[in-house]
């Protein structure tokens, strides 16, 4: 049986792609980023676990969406999505599903989440104007900065689509001065995530 030329071509493309990522340092960049972020992620998870042990966070947040007016919930969500984005958007999507116009409120939530990420980006740009921070980034993180600028689009895409804090990705993009137009472009994938989550959550309500 002769090997399929198309299958061979696909393997060759994957091999070339793997070689390109290896040569440009992409795998090393991702590993270093994960390794440096891991202690903070573990710390946040432990903090959330401890707080949740004494206070039911999800129940508290759900209660807030029940007692606050619509503009209060939307304002709270925007602040959350701007400052670290640690409150799961799914809670607010479920709240939108109970409103008289679920898809309208879902659209508003998506716009606020996207806007919150863009605000976080400019917060990151502002942080770099602090002389001590600027010097640290430019001198001691020169290599990481170069790789981050190269793969910043991937960082934004991951934050926009996966269940990770979008604002943190945007904040990091601002710190490394990743082009704003690219942040807007890759960050627009956030709307796809909200649409998919809306379909899943609304059908379950």
Domain assignment of residue 179, yes or no = yes
Q: What percent of the chain is modeled with pLDDT above 90?
A: 21
Domain assignment of residue 87, yes or no = yes
The answer to which of 55-69, 106-120, 179-193 has the lowest mean pLDDT is 55-69
Q: Using CB atoms within 10 Å of the CB of residue 194, give its burial: 0 to 12 exposed, 13 to 18 middle, 19+ buried.
A: buried
DSSP summary character for residue 178: -
- Residue 174 CA, distance from chain mean position: 13
The candidate with the shortest Cα–Cα distance to 192, out of 122, 107, 134, is: 107
Domain assignment of residue 148, yes or no = yes
Range of 167's domain?
56-204
What are the CA-CA distances from residue 153 to residues 44, 132, 136, 167 (Å)? 25, 26, 23, 14
| Tally of domains within the chain | 1
CA distance 154 to 53: 35
Domain assignment of residue 168, yes or no = yes
CA distance 161 to 151: 16
What's the pLDDT score for residue 119? 95
Position 2 pLDDT exceeds 80: no
Domain assignment of residue 132, yes or no = yes
What's the pLDDT score for residue 160? 84
What pTM was estimated for this model as a whole? 0.70
Token representation of residue 107: 């659209």
Domain assignment of residue 33, yes or no = no
Domain assignment of residue 152, yes or no = yes
Domain assignment of residue 31, yes or no = no
């Amino acid at each position: 049986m002769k090997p399929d030329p198309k299958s061979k071509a696909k393997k060759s493309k994957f091999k070339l792609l793997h070689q390109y990522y290896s040569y440009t340092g992409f795998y090393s960049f991702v590993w270093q980023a994960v390794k440096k972020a891991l202690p903070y992620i573990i710390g946040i998870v432990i903090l959330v676990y401890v707080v949740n042990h004494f206070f039911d966070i999800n129940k508290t947040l759900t209660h807030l969406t029940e007692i606050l007016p619509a503009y209060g919930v939307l304002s709270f969500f925007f602040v959350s999505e701007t400052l670290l984005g640690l409150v799961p958007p799914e809670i607010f999507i479920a709240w939108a599903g109970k409103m008289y116009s679920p898809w309208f409120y879902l659209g508003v939530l998506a716009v606020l989440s996207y806007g919150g990420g863009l605000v976080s980006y400019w917060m990151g740009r502002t942080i770099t104007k602090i002389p001590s921070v600027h010097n640290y980034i430019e001198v001691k993180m020169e290599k990481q900065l170069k790789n981050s600028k190269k793969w910043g689009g991937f960082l934004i895409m991951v934050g926009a689509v996966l269940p990770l804090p979008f604002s943190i990705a945007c904040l990091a993009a601002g710190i490394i001065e990743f082009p704003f137009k690219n942040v807007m472009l890759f960050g627009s994938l956030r709307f796809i995530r909200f649409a998919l989550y809306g379909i899943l959550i609304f059908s379950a309500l």
